[in-house]
Amino acid sequence: MMNIEKLDYKLVAALDAVITAQSFEGAATKLHITQSAISQRIKQLEQWLAQPVLIRGTPIEATETGQKLLSHYQKIKQLESALLGELRPDLASATTQVSIALNADTLASWFIPAITPLLKQQNIVFDLKVANEAVSHELLKKGEVFGAVSSHATSFAGGKATFLGELEYVLCANQTFNNQYFSAGLNRESLRHAPAISFDSFDNMHTSFIKQHFNLSANDYPRHQLRSSEAFVSMALAGVAYALLPTTQAQEHLNRHELIDLAPSLRIKQDLYWHSWHLEQGIYKEISNTIVNFAQNLLAK
């Protein structure tokens, strides 16, 4: 049993590494120590707290206590990075690893252009975790990421939410698909036979749209499930499915008449927010400002 009164951050760093790498071996590689040392540090942390910090499953997850430690550790890392930048400018060349959670549509449509200037100017390595909006919000709350793009308007203690704008979605297909399935019009009966696309079983955007406007349930029509926003576009262009696409992805194909708008009067608009910590400083604050400014200019109402 450790006889310490203060939190030992090298133990928390081991916890952070295990969650990030999703293995003890990967955590050992990241921290340049042995796998046995990682296990020992996690054990020491749990002994000091007198409760577990990890749920050893697939995936490896932090317990509620572990999540609080990770959340605190994220803030400490940001403060340390900002302070070192001021005290030791010669260390500015060091690489900063930043984890961000966001949905697939955001990643495929506007996020890369948003962060490109930073990648050209700063030594940053991004770990982009793709998840739906609800999950991305939870990853930040758990302390597994520095920031998150989410549809949640409210944040949590220590966090802040900044409105980015609306991501608009349009129902698209190519002309061949339209002629095959919707020659008599887009209606409840024609939709029963036309293959659609959704991201996964947790993605209810498409099914909610069809239910709201055409009163068809998810099991009433064929539907591909693809975990790739780029694949949505590819399948729509290939004429094998129709899909709800963000206008940021679809517009160029609509302009070139490679895709057509199946329902011009029907749209879905999803509010997006950037979630981060109140205490962000230095490069973390610059990342937040860059993402927020780019998105607000692009997605402004």
Confidence band of 85 (pLDDT split at 50, 70, 90)? low
Residue 215 near residue 188 (C-beta atoms within 8 A): yes
128-176 pLDDT, tens digit each = 988 877 778 778 877 778 899 988 888 877 788 999 999 999 999 999 9
Q: What distances in angstroms separate CA 175 from CA 22, 191, 253, 257, 283, one per listed residue?
A: 45, 16, 12, 9, 47
Confidence band of 93 (pLDDT split at 50, 70, 90)? low
Of residues 301 and 135, more confidently modeled? 135
Q: pTM of whole model > 0.75? A: no
**The predicted structure's pLDDT at residue 301:** 60
Q: How far apart are CA 167 and CA 151, in angstroms?
A: 10
DSSP string, the chain: ----SS--HHHHHHHHHHHHHTSHHHHHHHHTS-HHHHHHHHHHHHHHHTS--EE-SSS-EE-HHHHHHHHHHHHHHHHHHHHHHHH-GGGGGS-EEEEEEE-HHHIIIIIHHHHHHHHHHS-EEEEEEE--HHHHHHHHHTTS-SEEEES-S---TTEEEEEEEEEEEEEEE-HHHHHHH-TT-SSHHHHTTS-EEESSTT--HHHHHHHHHH---GGGS-EEE-S-HHHHHHHHHHTS--EEEEHHHHHHHHHTTSSEES-TT--EEEEEEEEEETT--HHHHHHHHHHHHHHHHHH--
Residue 118 scores a pLDDT above 50:
yes
Of residues 88 and 168, more confidently modeled? 168
Q: How far apart are CA 203 and CA 49, in angstroms?
A: 38
Beta pairing class for 223-225 and 196-198: parallel
Token pair for 300: 């402004």
Mean pLDDT of the chain: 88
With the CA atoms of 105, 107, 111 and 116 taken in that order, what torsion angle do they form, in degrees rounded to the nearest 10? Answer: -150
**The predicted structure's pLDDT at residue 294:** 96
Instruction: Compute CA 18 distance to the chain's CA centroid, rounded to the nearest angstrom.
Output: 20
Residue 1 scores a pLDDT above 70:
no
Q: How far apart are CA 277 and CA 288, in angstroms?
A: 10
Looking at the DSSP bridge assignments, the partners of residue 271 are 166
Residue 180 near residue 296 (C-beta atoms within 8 A): no
Token pair for 238: 């290939």
Least confident of 80-89, 114-123, 171-180, 248-257: 80-89
Q: What distances in angstroms separate CA 285 from CA 134, 142, 290, one per listed residue?
A: 23, 20, 9
